Chains A and B, each alone.
Chain A
Amino acid sequence: MIPGSFSYHRPATVSDAVKLLADLGDEARPLAGGHSLVPMMKLRLASPEHLVDLGRIEGLKGIRRLSNALEIGAMTTQHDLLGSDEIARSIPILHEAALLIADPQVRYMGTVGGNVANGDPGNDLPALMMTLGASYTLTRSSGSRTVAARDFYQGAYFTALEPGELLTAVTVPIPPSGHGYAYEKLKRKIGDYATAAAAVVLTMKAGVVESCAIGLTNLAETALLADAAARAVIGSKLEAATLKTAAAAAEAIMTPAADARGPVEYRKHVGGIMVTRALARAAARAT
């Protein structure tokens, strides 16, 4: 539990940070909240020669209202999400989900950017961002590009981030007013990753589902969008049979690993239940 030696850099601006990452190459890793990277370093599963600490870059912090979206700086902490009236008002599912991330101590340090950029299938925000149709701003010394959250994840810890690129912001479209939402997370204890979790954002009209997106956490190598399950409920009144079909469609794309949280069969089974419960709760909230 003792890391190897490394050089520590603390740039003050994004341009300094991306320049450092470009100059130092593969042996450099950006450090955000450190809740994934530092434990990996203590186990010597990661031994970067250089750490580029983003903690002092003011430009990466804060939540900004755009016309139809919120732009969340990468170094905004999960605790900041909870403290934001704008988030609570416009994208309340992020408030609900942030409350389910680990514990207060982790949320004070853990960042939105780190949570989405690391590619850890156990992190909660990737599925949320995919469900909400968010996009990520990836910055390098030569400029920026935007990648949709749903195109970002390639495998466990593998993402669309290129060497020298830094995820600097997350832009989340504001769902229509009156939308229903729910994040259902089954976990063994505070601080544990999800055994299974499902995010639902939907709109209803006269009791019928008009639009719906469903995201899944920790049920595959990456967060998943359960498109078939979402299609199954659009146009329905979420009758018991429909919910069952949706759960089955979601379960069909789940490929969780067996671990201390349970065998594969169990994790898929409760994954389906999380989908069902999230749909029911989201529908009850929709106006």
Chain B
Amino acid sequence: MNDMTPTREQRTAALEGMGCKRKRVEDIRFTQGKGNYVDDVKLPGMLHGDFVRSPHAHARVKAIHSEEALKVPGVLAVITAETLKTVNLAWMPTLAGDVQMVLADGKVLFQNQEVAFVVATDRYAADDGIAKVEVEYEPLPVLVDPFKAMDPDAPVLREDLAGKTTGAHGPRKHHNHIFEWTVGDKDLTDAAFRKADVTIKELISYHRVHPSPLETCQCVCSFDKIRGELTIWGTFQAPHVIRTVVALIAKIPEHKIHVISPDIGGGFGNKVGAYPGYICAAVASIVTGKPVKWVEDRIENLTATSFARDYHMTAELAATKEGKVTGLRVHVLADHGAFDACADPSKWPAGFFNIVTGSYDIPVAHLAVDGIYTNKAPGGVAYRCSFRVTEAAYCIERAMDILAQKLNMDPAELRLKNFVRPEQFPYHSALGWEYDSGDYATAMKKVMETVKYAGLRQEQADKRAAFKRGETREIMGVGVSFFTEIVGAGPSKNCDILGIAMFDSCEIRLHPTGAGIARVGSKSQGQGHETTWAQIIATEIGIPADNIMVEEGNTDTAPYGLGTYGSRSTPVAGAAIAMAARKIKAKAQMIAAYKLEVHEDDLEWDIDGFRVKGLPEKTMSMKDICWAAYNSVPPGMEPGLEAVSYYDPPNMTYPFGAYICVMDIDVDTGVYKVRRFMALDDCGTRINPMIIEGQVHGGLTEAFAIAMGQEIRYDDAGNVVTGSFMDFFMPTAVETPHWETDFTVTPSPHHPIGAKGVGESPNVGGVPAFSNAVNDAFSFLGSTHIQMPHDYWRNWKAAKSLGVFA
């Protein structure tokens, strides 16, 4: 061996495989303005479409006059529901089993609903045309308050459902009722409550918010009449699903539909569903024979394409006086807006909300969710969330704090007393899930030690005494949150979208010189897949990550996948990548055995190639195997080195984490200051610690925004009053607290590399941490629960109602 022979450490480092803080390869183009987003797609002769939208939340559409608009120079067409009816597309199916108007058909059901689509030679002309379209409305009574939706005299919103007493998810109880979904054993739960020493009951609302990605929803549709092919560039988190949906509703053969998701500027669930803009742009392109672009503006994005949350959860806990939780009962009133367009796996009308038992060993539980219609925008998307897990985590984490308060017990202590214990995994929850792995107490105690929890409680007690003596106007809260996520949708036994199982896929093709391409069914919107997917492959087959190009988003080239949302990429696509890599490795081993003239069982893997057992100098690197794969494979073997894997996960994965937030609030102004935020995440095997940290920072920032001020709010007439970033709280770097992060590693036992997913954890766990901090701050003044968002004026209002200005 000469001195130049790399050490094993150097060989490992050169791969930049799993566990390496590899810099994000996509940032090279993003930071230089060289990304390629939908709005960068400019085709010859391309037209532009934009919407006439309803100013009313509920009104009958008496007439639409487009004659004047058609006189505007550059305006070519005004598409209405009547136009769409000729191609049977005035309504479209939703992912939740409902139907949704593409353009107003007879009435409008929410403010800013799409009424007509104006197509013009440029965006300015389109908007000039919009100004000239005259719509006659007859206003109808508006239903905004979800608690009034099922009043006997509530306005009838969905006339198209008249007489339908059964929906996609069972019986409907009222004309504004969508579904009732129940899980758990009601009788046993009722019995637990009858026997309980202590019970609590609280209405815990998680208000309506919006994912608001930096890039709004948009598409370019181009129909080639000669070939009969439709190409769609769009901001799609799940391009293959979009292709199938288009094939089903537009009756174009699926192989003649090309869906391309180029670079995407954030999705957060906003870009999973199908929106009227996509349909209208496609129809407009088919009608005009020219490419048509549709780009949503910020107001349209906030007010029309999807919202998140809007869950009103009545939570009850039963417990012994020692603090052992004996039962959980939850009823949810779920405000779905005008159409049920939730983006959940098809059989799950309330997503995975039945993870609401959280991290606790609760013997019995019962859950009932009532979905209802109101005059608000449709959506109910999984905003950085695995299908209502965020709502569930908020519900149980607030409820646990309320119970702790009633028991006069420290909230961390109550959690430690009720955690599912490590030896109970795989753990079967009372509401039907099988948790794969966890070590909750270790994570909780680690965070408590880092923040010196006991010292914080002492400081808080001192401050409260000082407050009561009138020496300070500042109160202090310590918010504890411990969440268990359920991600990686999902196993075909219980997860599908429109009948397609929620597997994911990868195809790896290695080239002769030891480089290659991996095509994956997921679709990054900023998560860094081009970086991390290559790291998995690097570790699995010893090709440096830099030599692997990762490609996603083109349905012609990528294998069919269900896309990226709900932290499913690593649990599902990540597994497919590892499995495809292992297929390659198996073939590589046969080639190496042939070339080294040994039996393949005599070979062992060593970082970046194979070596003969007992003869460490007899080796063949993967790079050399790649070359051999194209010129000297064993007799009878096909040349080449590529593999495809479609991975149907056996179970979900269950990441978890312990967060603590320390907050000070000035009761006179309601101004809060987050003094410290400590987030410990356990996402199993860590592929790229730097990207994990970035994900946690981003998710915590969103959680901070949601808990502390962000809301989509409607006035009594159904007008959105937070429809721009002037009103919708979007924190800047100045408002964002400093984040501290930590981790434990509890691998998933069923995942090929033990990884669980992390993207949405900080949003799921962060919101209860902030809200618990605010509630904890006020609790000594006698409050049990203060609804979010906890912005300045609401904190002041809480202080006032608790008598601090008396």
Is B297 an interface position by the 8 A CB rule? yes
What is the CB-to-nearest-CB distance from A222 to chain B, in angstroms, rounded to a whole number?
20
Q: Count the A residues whose beta carbon is within 8 Å of the partner chain — how many?
A: 25
B793 touches A189 (CB 8 A): no
What is the CB-to-nearest-CB distance from A97 to chain B, in angstroms, rounded to a whole number?
17
Given A5-B128, A44-B131, A188-B791, the answer on whether A266 and B732 have CB atoms closer than 8 Å is: no
Given A260-B721, A260-B727, the answer on whether A188 and B792 have CB atoms closer than 8 Å is: yes
A1-34 contact mask (Cβ, 8 Å, vs B): 1 or 0? 1111100000000000000000000000000000
- In Å, the complex CA distance between A148 and B730 comes to 38
B124 touches A103 (CB 8 A): no
B279-300 contact mask (Cβ, 8 Å, vs A): 1 or 0? 0000000000000000001110
Stretch at the interface among A48-56, A87-95, A190-198: A190-198
Enumerate chain B residues within 8 angstroms of A189, measured Cβ to Cβ.
Answer: 729-732, 734-735
Most buried by A among B124, B126, B729, B792: B792
Indicate which residue in A1, A4, A103, A261 contacts B732 across the interface (CB closer than 8 Å): A103
What is the CB-to-nearest-CB distance from B317 to chain A, in angstroms, rounded to a whole number?
33
B796 touches A2 (CB 8 A): no
Enumerate chain A residues within 8 angstroms of B670, measured Cβ to Cβ.
Answer: 266
- In Å, the complex CA distance between A49 and B649 comes to 61
Interface of A is mostly: loop
B726 touches A266 (CB 8 A): no
Most buried by B among A4, A260, A269: A260
Indicate which residue in A3, A5, A103, A266 contacts B796 across the interface (CB closer than 8 Å): A266
Enumerate chain A residues within 8 angstroms of B713, measured Cβ to Cβ.
Answer: 260
Given A266-B793, A270-B669, A273-B668, the answer on whether A192 and B726 have CB atoms closer than 8 Å is: yes
- In Å, the complex CA distance between A189 and B710 comes to 12
For residue A261, which residue of chain B has the nearest CB? B793
Enumerate chain A residues within 8 angstroms of B730, measured Cβ to Cβ.
Answer: 189
B792 touches A262 (CB 8 A): yes
Most buried by B among A4, A44, A266: A266
B298 touches A1 (CB 8 A): yes
B726-753 contact mask (Cβ, 8 Å, vs A): 1 or 0? 1101111011000000000000000000
Is A263 an interface position by the 8 A CB rule? yes
Indicate which residue in B131, B726, B732, B793 contacts A190 across the interface (CB closer than 8 Å): B732
- In Å, the complex CA distance between A242 and B721 comes to 39
Is B563 an interface position by the 8 A CB rule? no
Enumerate chain B residues within 8 angstroms of A266, measured Cβ to Cβ.
Answer: 670, 793, 796-797
Is B709 an interface position by the 8 A CB rule? yes
Is A129 an interface position by the 8 A CB rule? no
A186 touches B669 (CB 8 A): yes
For residue B126, which residue of chain A has the nearest CB? A2
Given A195-B792, A262-B793, A273-B668, the answer on whether A188 and B131 have CB atoms closer than 8 Å is: no
State which residues 712-734 of B face A: CB under 8 Å: 713, 721-722, 726-727, 729-732, 734
Enumerate chain A residues within 8 angstroms of B128, measured Cβ to Cβ.
Answer: 4-5
Is B671 an interface position by the 8 A CB rule? yes
For residue B728, which residue of chain A has the nearest CB? A260
Is B127 an interface position by the 8 A CB rule? yes
B793 touches A263 (CB 8 A): yes
A273 touches B669 (CB 8 A): yes
- In Å, the complex CA distance between A262 and B127 comes to 34
B793 touches A2 (CB 8 A): no
B734 touches A186 (CB 8 A): no
What is the CB-to-nearest-CB distance from A38 to chain B, in angstroms, rounded to a whole number?
14
What is the CB-to-nearest-CB distance from B93 to chain A, in angstroms, rounded to a whole number?
30
For residue B725, which residue of chain A has the nearest CB? A191
Most buried by B among A189, A193, A263: A189
A177-209 contact mask (Cβ, 8 Å, vs B): 1 or 0? 000000000101111110100000000000000
For residue B731, which residue of chain A has the nearest CB? A189
What is the CB-to-nearest-CB distance from B709 to chain A, in angstroms, rounded to a whole number?
6
Enumerate chain A residues within 8 angstroms of B722, measured Cβ to Cβ.
Answer: 260
Enumerate chain B residues within 8 angstroms of A1, measured Cβ to Cβ.
Answer: 297-299
For residue A1, which residue of chain B has the nearest CB? B297
- In Å, the complex CA distance between A195 and B299 comes to 22
Indicate which residue in A4, A192, A261 contacts B131 across the interface (CB closer than 8 Å): A4
- In Å, the complex CA distance between A193 and B299 comes to 19
Enumerate chain B residues within 8 angstroms of A4, measured Cβ to Cβ.
Answer: 127-128, 131
- In Å, the complex CA distance between A51 and B99 comes to 46
Enumerate chain A residues within 8 angstroms of B734, measured Cβ to Cβ.
Answer: 189-190
Is B208 an interface position by the 8 A CB rule? no
**Known A190-B732, A195-B792, A262-B796; further 18 A-B contacts with Cβ < 8 A:** A1-B299, A2-B50, A2-B124, A3-B124, A5-B124, A5-B128, A103-B732, A186-B669, A186-B671, A186-B792, A189-B731, A191-B732, A195-B793, A260-B729, A263-B793, A266-B793, A266-B796, A270-B668
Please name 27 pairs of A and B residues whose Cβ atoms are closer than 8 Å in the assembled complex, sorted by A. Answer: A1-B299, A2-B123, A2-B127, A4-B128, A5-B124, A44-B131, A103-B732, A186-B669, A186-B671, A186-B792, A188-B709, A188-B729, A188-B791, A189-B730, A189-B731, A189-B732, A190-B734, A191-B732, A192-B726, A193-B726, A195-B792, A195-B793, A259-B727, A260-B727, A262-B796, A269-B796, A273-B668
Would you list the 3 A-B pairs with minimal beta carbon distance, nearest first?
A262-B793, A1-B297, A2-B127
